[in-house]
């Protein structure tokens, strides 16, 4: 199975990018792909064996789901390895660059949507993250 990879360079120091990625108060402000969705609730126990739970919901309340996972490995400001709630793996890398911080996500695709659609949707969320951090 080929992993899906998305990436973005965020023009902020890695310490700020890490905080915005991992702190619940920030996650609620960027963790959605399109403007008619939001993340009304987020919990994050950032320890190995801990879980995150992010409610992804349409603003009209017609749909919602719990996006969650369990942390397998955490290297502060470097790397996070996760097993998602449906058993797929996910890895998030944080790297310092000349222009800020590069965030790279790799994950196993699910079977309901095409890999292209998954890549596009996850990239939109990462783009929201970039916009939120840089504002």
Every domain of the chain and the residues it spans: 34-90
Q: The whole model's pTM is what?
A: 0.95
Query: Which CATH architecture group holds 34-90?
Result: 2-Layer Sandwich (3.30)
C-alpha pair distances (Å), 73 with each of 19, 70, 77, 84, 134? 17, 9, 12, 13, 27
The alpha carbon dihedral of 108, 109, 115, 118 has a sign of: negative
Return d(Cα 34, Cα 96) in angstroms, integer: 28
Average pLDDT over residues 117-126: 97
Average pLDDT over residues 3-23: 98
Return d(Cα 40, Cα 62) in angstroms, integer: 14
What are φ and ψ of residue 55, in 5° steps? -80, 120
What's residue 94's pLDDT? 98
């Amino acid at each position: 199975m080929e992993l899906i990879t998305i990436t973005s360079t965020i023009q902020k120091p890695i310490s700020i990018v890490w905080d915005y990625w991992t702190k619940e108060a920030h996650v609620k402000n960027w963790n959605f792909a399109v403007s008619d969705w939001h993340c009304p609730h987020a919990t994050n126990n950032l320890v190995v064996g801990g879980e995150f739970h992010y409610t992804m919901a349409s603003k009209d309340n017609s749909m919602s789901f719990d996006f969650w996972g369990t942390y397998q490995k955490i290297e502060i400001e470097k790397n996070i390895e996760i097993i998602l709630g449906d058993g797929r793996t996910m890895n998030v890398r944080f790297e310092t660059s000349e222009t800020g911080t590069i965030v790279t996500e790799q994950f196993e695709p699910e079977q309901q949507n095409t890999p292209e659609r998954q890549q596009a949707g996850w990239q939109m969320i990462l783009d929201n993250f970039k916009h939120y951090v840089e504002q």
